[in-house]
Structure 1
């Protein structure tokens, strides 16, 4: 079975965020993280959002690649 590829905007939808191109650009521009803050520890996530991100990375789920992309984008 081939892994599922999730587009970047689907991650925003999964997190309950506005997934329009403009909203994604605005979110990234206004939520930059210092290098010493882990993505899942960012203060702007709800508990449910942080849990989803953490589980996706820990389980190396089909979301892991796009979560890594989000992490890079917020640096």
Structure 2
């Protein structure tokens, strides 16, 4: 069986562990890009605490672009 995972920009450790524990994985390519999800943001440790990084969207948060076109 193939496990289906959402695409993620610098995925969290829990995503990596879950993927590592599968024999086969597939990355979802037919979903819509959603602002404010793992698809466009991540958190990293910085010198002043946790920093949030995100990929800006050119057309705003309501664009319904398929993930394969991003």
TM-score bracket, shorter-length normalisation: under 0.3
Which structure is richer in relative contact order (CA contacts within 8 A, separation 6 or more)? 1
TM-score scaled by length of structure 2: 0.24
TM-score scaled by length of structure 1: 0.23
> Max radius of gyration: which structure?
2
Specify which structure has the higher proportion of strand. 2
